[in-house]
Amino acid sequence: MVNSTPQVVTIAGSDSGGGAGIQADLKTFQARKAFGMSIVVALTAQNTLGVQSALPVPLDLIDSQFASLKADFRIGAVKTGMLFNGAYVENVVKNLKEVDFGPLIVDPVMVAKGGHQLLDQDAIDAIQDKLLPLATLVTPNIPEAEIIADMTIDSEADMLAAGLKLQGYGAKNVIVKGGHSKAERARDLVLLENGEQLWLSSPWVNTENTHGTGDTLSAAIAAELSKGTDLKDAIIIGKQFIQGAIADGIDVGHGHGPTNHWADLSDEVVVESE
């Protein structure tokens, strides 16, 4: 039957090095057996050592990409990644309101691996005020949650406070990823719309091959949602997928290498209900 295959879209920037962005998302969609499509917001020249240059695509081309996908596909989920600046966030918000692409996963990419802030304040404000209210799920790491919630996160109690702030901004469900803490076990906080709180923990992996981890996690969750998987189960599967991808990382390049997008789901993820 036409359009019976799970279909999922990523809205993000292209990574010429293949480890993050659109490329990581499409590899993850394929690994999770969903047909992936893309709306390219920006082109980047980058590798495992960093981003050398970036060029946004014209805004009317983003409009055209949305229109093309809307006209031909039955899309079951959509995710966002790096959205370049405030004008691009607002353009994506405008387009999302005009289509029905299913649940929206917002990966608020705004901090580079080295800690450099990638987005200006206008873009951060647009994400907080206009994109988060559309989000089925938002997936910040600790530095990103600190920026959006405008607070310092030094503890699990702080993670909870930040997550509740993000729900207050309109995001229905939140994951605050704890991998930046470098504790013996990485603990991610999940806040669900129904009030349920979960901690997903897994062994912290000592590796430099972590380029694109946030993209890969959010893409795995989006792929599962496009297949009709329940959100809570999709989040757990996404965590199992990224844990396996990090633990079985591949060595390419001379910097922060990518995760392994053909790795198996990890059986080391522990789910703890509050």
Structure tokens at 211: 């380029």
Q: Residue 184: pLDDT above 80?
A: no
pLDDT of residue 1: 62
CATH number at residue 37: 3.40.1190.20
User: Is residue 222 a part of any domain in this protein?
Assistant: yes
Binning pLDDT at 50, 70 and 90, where does residue 120 land?
confident
* Residue 175 banded pLDDT, cuts 50, 70, 90: very high
Residue 37 lies in a domain: yes
Residue 105 has pLDDT above 70, yes or no: yes
Q: Going by C-beta distance under 8 Å and a sequence separation of 6 or more, which residues neighbour residue 15? A: 21, 22, 23, 24, 44, 46, 212
In a domain, 95, yes or no: yes
Q: Give the domain range for residue 146.
A: 7-273
Q: Residue 152, SS3?
A: coil
Count of Cβ atoms closer than 10 Å to residue 132 Cβ: 22
Asked if the structure places residue 226 within a domain, the reply is yes
Higher-confidence residue: 249 or 219?
Answer: 219
1 belongs to a structural domain = no
* pLDDT attached to residue 66: 99
Q: Note whether residue 2 is domain-resident.
A: no
Residue 219 lies in a domain: yes
Residue among 21, 59, 62, 8 at smallest CA distance from 39: 62
Contact indicator for 243, 202 with CB cutoff of 8 Å:
yes
pLDDT at 176: 98
Structure letter (DSSP) for residue 259: P
How many domains is the chain partitioned into structurally?
A: 1
Tokens found for residue 96: 């999302």
DSSP string, 161-230: HHHHHHHHTT-SEEEEB-GGG--SEEEEEEE-TTS-EEEEEEEPP--S--BTHHHHHHHHHHHHHHTT--
In the predicted model, is pLDDT for residue 10 greater than 90?
A: yes
Residue 145 pLDDT class (50, 70, 90 cuts): very high
Q: Report pLDDT digits (tens) over 34-72.
A: 999 999 999 999 999 988 999 999 999 999 999 999 999
